[in-house]
Structures are given as structure tokens and as C-alpha cells.
Amino acid sequence: MSLIKTIHSNGSAIKEFKKSRFIGNAFPVTDEIEAKTFVEEIQQRYPDANHNVFAYRLTGDGNLIMKYDDDGEPSGSSGKPVFKVLELKGLDNVVVIVTRYFGGIKLGFGGLSRAYKQTAIEAIDDGGIVEKRPTQEMKIVVDYGNMQFVKHMLGNCAIILDEHYSDVVEIVVAVAEDKIDELEKLINEKIPDTQITRF
């Protein structure tokens, strides 16, 4: 599978437009449940805000999931401009929430669009745009005698996330999705008794 563009870590930005305060938060996410959870967290963090506008764009299982919400702002003035930033930057697996505290001066449709868009851009830039290869987690249970051999096979296609030692060794890895079938087949061929579980 090809690389995807996303953000490295949580990003934030605070902007002011005609006395209205805009707080942008951008989060890297893995699925829609996580995206919705971040939206709820921000809504709870700023319960007295006038609006919590959000947009997300996700790729998973070959499907593209897209959503945006104006949260009471004029239709098309806020959620869509935030979503357009994700689209124009080619970002996936990102949710952006822009919180607004109304300052008493109306911005108009164009002013709102610019304010939400600019805040979203700065929050995303603060998170840092990166390219990532989609991964899947796998647990490999192997005896001590074959542990180094398995680690050698993991090579450049996997990152070890956790290791647990008992009478056997449990290794949890994140494997590049386009390499996972090949890796599992190779391990099973070389060490037939190895237990492999995908998450």
C-alpha cells in the first residue's frame, strides 16, 4: 500500500479575528471512533464555546471516510473550509476541531471561512505533516532459540512495540501492511510452530 500523508502529533493554534477567538486542534487518528472521541473531548474542554466546528478525513480498509460539521455556523462557512484544508494538503487519518468564542462582531460568510481555514492550517502545521506507511499490529510467540532469527526477519518491515519474556517470548510488532502477508508466510515456513496473531 502506498504512503499516506498525515500529521505526526497533536497540533494546536489560537487566532483572533475581530475579537472572536478561534482555537484549533488537530489530531492524528486511526479510525472514525477515535475521531469522534477527540471531537467530544474538545466539546467537553470548551463547554461554553459558541461553536466547535470539525472535519475529518480517514482512509481504512480501502474506504475513504469524510465528514464535516458547521456546528450552528452558517451552512458551508466553517466545516467545509476546514475539510478543504485536509483535502488540499492531501491529508488522511486526521481530525481538526476549531472552537470559536464569539467576540461580538459578525465576520460575514467570507470572514468566517477565512478564520476557520487559517486556524485549521496553523493547527495542522503545528502537528507536523509526515508521510507514513499504513501498518498492522501482529503478535509473534516464539521460543528463545528462534527469537534472534525472528527479530532478524522483522528487519526493515516492522517496528517492535513490546516484548514479554516468560517460558516463551511474545513480540508485538507494527508491520507495514504491504509486507505483513509475506512476513507471516516466511516465519511459518522457517519456524512452523510459531504462533502469530494479527490485531
Enumerate the domain spans of the chain: 4-132, 135-198
Q: For 31-40, what is the mean pLDDT?
A: 92
Per-residue cell: 69: 460539521
Q: What is the pTM of this model?
A: 0.72
pLDDT tens digit string along 121-170?
999 999 998 887 777 888 999 888 888 888 888 876 788 888 999 999 99
Per-residue cell: 54: 470539525
pLDDT in the model for residue 156: 67
pLDDT tens digit string along 49-103?
999 999 999 986 567 889 999 999 999 999 999 999 999 999 999 999 999 999 9
List the beta bridge partners of residue 170: 141, 164
Cα–Cα distance, 83 to 36 (Å, whole number): 15
Cα–Cα distance, 39 to 55 (Å, whole number): 9
Q: What is the CATH number of domain 4-132?
A: 3.30.230.30
Q: Does domain 135-198 have CATH number 3.30.70.240?
A: yes
What is the residue whose three cell numbers read 495542522? 124
Identity of the highest mean pLDDT range in 3-12, 109-118, 173-182:
109-118
Indicate if 135-198 has the same CATH topology as 4-132. no
Per-residue cell: 68: 464535516
Query: What's the Cα-to-Cα distance from 76 to each of 80, 89, 171, rounded to whole Å?
Result: 5, 19, 48
pLDDT in the model for residue 45: 94
Question: Are 51 and 99 in contact, with CB atoms under 8 Å apart?
Answer: yes
